[in-house]
């Protein structure tokens, strides 16, 4: 994958100096592939931090318009920052509500909503000339996927206790079928463990390839030709946000529903 340079590279060099930044990043050691961590590794981190700060500022700006209840009940006539947040948050909340019900959607929306905001703005940053989307770096997407992995397993254990682990072995059939349950357990365990890998790689590859193609065509022909690619890039940014959040919501729904399904099956078997 080619190494890109964005405005954040010049900003970091201006603040820290190229030599000082390079030395500080080398102090982190080596990557998984064995290469030393260079100054370029700081660029996605700076971009991700920029997205976090930007999201907080936009959220507080919209909050200032809805904090007055009497005025907030009247919708804006045109597309505004408040309208954007209402549509954006409402869509992902509706997605979770249809999947797991209103009560659980409100309880677990914090994670999915945060992922939606971060991934959405990170993806669209790559459409701005001179900037690199943080989600084109596996360091960022892997970190996000690991947070999702830890949280949905925490929710599953919190809601179901050890029943969350037992459910990985599938329904109990008969003592003679114990090897089948053990096989199912290992298959489900592997499937659960690779979720953050597939979740992070899918997002990273799509955004990295999309950004690389857009940069390539803009470098060759700057006028008109990149416009269709920017439209395609917009669709990719939206779809990848939806896929990431949809899978996150599915993982949470599966984790918190396991024990309830197990109890219902046991009650039906007893009757």
Which pair of structure tokens corresponds to residue 109? 């929306």
Does 129 or 95 have the greater pLDDT score?
A: 95
Which pair of structure tokens corresponds to residue 25? 């990043």
Q: Which pLDDT tens digit goes with each residue over 45-80?
A: 888 999 999 999 998 888 877 777 666 667 677 778
Lowest-confidence range among 70-74, 126-130, 238-242, 258-262? 258-262
Q: How confident is the model at residue 223 (pLDDT cuts 50, 70, 90)?
A: low
C-alpha distance from residue 15 to each of 9, 84, 133, 144 (Å): 10, 34, 21, 27
Residue ranges in the chain assigned as alpha helix (H): 7-16, 18-26, 42-66, 69-72, 81-100, 102-125, 138-160, 163-166, 178-193, 195-220, 226-270
| Spatial CA neighbour of 144 closest among 224, 30, 244 | 244
Q: How confident is the model at residue 192 (pLDDT cuts 50, 70, 90)?
A: confident
Give the pLDDT of residue 61.
Answer: 86
Q: How confident is the model at residue 261 (pLDDT cuts 50, 70, 90)?
A: very low
Does 219 or 269 have the greater pLDDT score?
A: 219
Give the pLDDT of residue 267.
Answer: 40
pLDDT at 15 > cutoff 50: yes
CB 192 within 8 A of CB 168: yes
Q: How confident is the model at residue 2 (pLDDT cuts 50, 70, 90)?
A: very low
Please give the full DSSP string across 207-221, using - where no structure is assigned. Answer: HHHHHHHHHHHHHH-
- Provide the β-strand partners of residue 36: 30
Give the pLDDT of residue 108.
Answer: 92
Averaged confidence pLDDT in the chain: 79
Give the pLDDT of residue 266.
Answer: 40
Q: pTM, whole model, 2 decimals?
A: 0.81
CA distance 132 to 4: 7
Share of the chain above pLDDT 90, in %: 31
């Amino acid at each position: 994958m080619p190494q890109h340079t964005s405005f954040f590279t010049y900003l970091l060099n201006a603040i820290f100096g190229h030599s000082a930044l390079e030395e500080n990043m080398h102090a982190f050691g080596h990557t998984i592939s064995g290469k030393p961590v260079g100054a370029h590794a700081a660029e996605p981190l700076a971009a991700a931090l920029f997205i976090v700060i930007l999201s907080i500022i936009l959220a507080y700006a919209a909050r200032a318009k809805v904090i007055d209840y009497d005025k907030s009940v009247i919708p804006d006539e045109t597309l505004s920052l408040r309208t954007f947040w209402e549509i954006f948050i409402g869509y992902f909340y509706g997605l979770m509500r249809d999947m797991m019900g209103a009560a659980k959607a409100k309880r677990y929306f914090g994670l999915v909503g945060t992922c939606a905001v971060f991934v959405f703005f990170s993806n669209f940053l790559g459409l701005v000339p001179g900037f690199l989307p943080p989600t084109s770096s596996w360091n960022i997407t892997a970190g996000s996927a690991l947070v999702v992995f830890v949280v949905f397993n925490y929710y599953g254990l919190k809601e179901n206790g050890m029943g969350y682990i037992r459910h990985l072995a599938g329904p109990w059939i008969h003592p003679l079928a114990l090897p089948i349950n053990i096989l199912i357990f290992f298959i489900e365990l592997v499937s659960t463990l690779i979720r953050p890998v597939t979740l992070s790689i899918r997002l990273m590859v799509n955004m990295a390839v999309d950004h690389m193609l857009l940069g390539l065509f803009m470098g060759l022909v700057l006028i008109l030709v990149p416009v269709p690619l920017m439209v395609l890039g917009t669709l990719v940014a939206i779809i990848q946000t939806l896929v990431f959040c949809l899978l996150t919501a599915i993982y949470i729904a599966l984790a918190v529903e396991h024990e309830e399904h197990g109890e219902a099956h046991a009650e039906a078997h007893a009757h």
